[in-house]
Amino acid sequence: MIKGFSILTLLLLGMNSIFANQAPYPLYPISSKTHDIIRSGEVYIQRNSEIEGPGRHFHGYILIDASVQNVYNVVKKFQDYPQFMPHIINVVPITKDKRTNFRYFLELPLGIEYKYETSYQSYLSPNEAYLSWKLEDWEENNIEDTWGQWLISPYQNTHFTLVQYQVYTDLGHIPFGLGWIIDFLTEYSLPEILLNTKQYVEKHE
């Protein structure tokens, strides 16, 4: 997919992660093996067992053939998520204390539904952007916790954009026999989230 990758480029990418604008959640170093995977056009996903809490935390990487600005514009337009994000059927903006939160409505097999409200913060510059979210109090939340982050930056010496994504999910009590739900919403869905985002952004580039 991408040729001419060098040790210098790898070092520059590592520096980009270290010196990135102060995004709310930590970044993770990218190994040379991971670079090989994403340069081939694939997505890389890894679970982080060291994150405290009963939920599951994953981070992942993908390259998108689009500008930082265009990727940022897509991931920040929450109400368009049902067009390309798995399981999300609706996103509703809610004004609270002069800020806008968003309520997400998800639908899984067997008629299982989840809904929750999040707030977000974001940052955009010509060389980097991030968007993070966290769960907010809402009487109809039926998950325990979620937070996460998109970090978007140029992939040095190419016209591609590097997307670093992470998410923590705690669904709370899972009825006996339905343990597959947490896998379905996290590990199994994450590649689709990043690949769908890539396809959607590139289609609208």
What does the block give as tokens for 109? 């097999």
Which SS3 state, helix, strand or coil, does residue 176 take?
coil
Cβ neighbors of 30 (< 8 A, separation 6 or more) are 13, 14, 17, 61, 164
Alpha helices by DSSP H, 27-109: 32-39, 68-76
Please report, in tens digits, the pLDDT of each residue of the chain (205 residues total).
Answer: 554 444 434 433 443 443 455 788 888 889 999 999 999 999 999 999 878 788 999 999 999 999 999 999 999 999 999 999 999 999 999 999 889 999 999 999 888 899 999 999 999 998 899 999 999 999 999 999 999 999 999 998 899 999 999 999 999 988 777 778 888 888 889 999 999 999 999 998 8
pTM over 0.85: yes
